[in-house]
Amino acid sequence: MTAIVTETLLAFDVGARTHEFVHETAGKLEQGQLQNDISAVRSFLARLLKDGRRLRVIMEATGIYFLDLALVAHELGAEVVVINPKAGHHFAKGLGLRSKTDAIDARMLLEFLRRMPLTRWEPPARECLQLRQIGRYLVQLTDESTAAKNRLHALESTEETPRFLREDLRRSIRSLEGRLERIRAQAIELIGRSESLNAAFQALNSMVGMGDKSAVAVLGELCVLPRSLSGRACTSHAGLDVRHHQSGTSVNKPGRISKHGNKYLRRALYMPALSAGTHDPHAAAFKQRLQARGKKGLQINTAIMRKMLTAAWAIVRDPTPYDGARLYATIETP
């Protein structure tokens, strides 16, 4: 006689301090809150997995807080699904939900898990997770350095500013720039210890417009993605996919990028795309074709960013030297 395996569906609305949860087993619902603490999460999930139960867990990719939760659930043997928060938002609108609370969001995610065809989440390699954390920390330090330089410019615009204030801010800027160089060097050292990461890093560096700084940032974001992801899906992940708004004959707005994706990827590609448009002959020719069609500067740079992301993702999956002739063989509408 074949034993019947009980399946539990579990949805988390992830929070910084607590996770709202709701789970269903054999038609019975239980809802509550769980402290965002690894030991508490582990005990809770182990209880749901006892007696050979099958556990399916869903959560949104909310900030950094979902990651430890997803890793523990995967480690214990649960089937984990991680979705883009925008997907959950639009699903809630489709259900006609007018209120938004953590409890309602958890129930909405449980319904999402019941109804939608979903792909199982697989955890990235440890070094990839570390590289992404380093890359995002470098972004924060860069923002701090930029803000400090702006404050220094404001202080130097008037002779009434005491000299010691200007000197103090200059020391702060030198310290931030030193930390940036040191941490970026450590990131490159981490990459060098992994054969696959190092091969992708060297290939990314062969792209015109891409240097060490940009390659670290781009690789940190791309190496955590599943290799089965298509180029189109990767573009959508970065929020560089074009969203059209057309209805009947009276509504036909110009296409705009969705921005419903990874802002770190968009930021990392912005300056390399500007550089490629000037120094890469293939990108420059592509730029001229778009200018002839009346496209504006930001539209053109976005189109080059999208092209570069397509190449970068192909390189990360299969590290080979950059070939601009292949990348810009077709015209793409921004």
pLDDT at 332 over 60: no
Q: Specify the pLDDT at position 127.
A: 94
Q: Specify the pLDDT at position 4.
A: 57
Label residue 2 by pLDDT band (50, 70, 90).
Answer: very low
Average pLDDT value for the chain: 88
pLDDT digits (tens, 9 = 90+) for 159-215: 888 999 999 999 999 999 999 999 999 999 999 999 999 999 999 999 999 999 999
User: Rounded CA gap, 240 and 332, in Å?
Assistant: 13
More confident residue, 230 or 316: 316
- SS3 percent helix, strand, coil of the chain, rounded to 5, is 60, 15, 25
Q: Specify the pLDDT at position 227.
A: 81
Question: Residue 278 to residues 271, 273, 287, 304, 329: CA-CA distances in angstroms?
Answer: 11, 9, 9, 11, 18
User: Rounded CA gap, 185 and 192, in Å?
Assistant: 10
Q: What is the dihedral of CA 95, 96, 102, 106, to 10 degrees?
A: -10
Q: List 18's β-bridge partners, or say none.
A: 35
Question: Residue 307 to residues 131, 213, 216, 264, 313: CA-CA distances in angstroms?
Answer: 24, 19, 18, 17, 10
216 neighbors 222 (Cβ within 8 angstroms) = no
pLDDT digits (tens, 9 = 90+) for 208-260: 999 999 999 999 999 988 887 788 888 888 888 776 454 555 544 555 666 67
Domains of the chain by residue range: 7-115, 126-193, 221-246+253-327
Q: Specify the pLDDT at position 1.
A: 41
Q: Specify the pLDDT at position 236.
A: 83
107-115: average pLDDT: 94
Label residue 331 by pLDDT band (50, 70, 90).
Answer: very low
60-73: average pLDDT: 84
Q: Domain 7-115 carries which CATH code?
A: 3.30.420.10
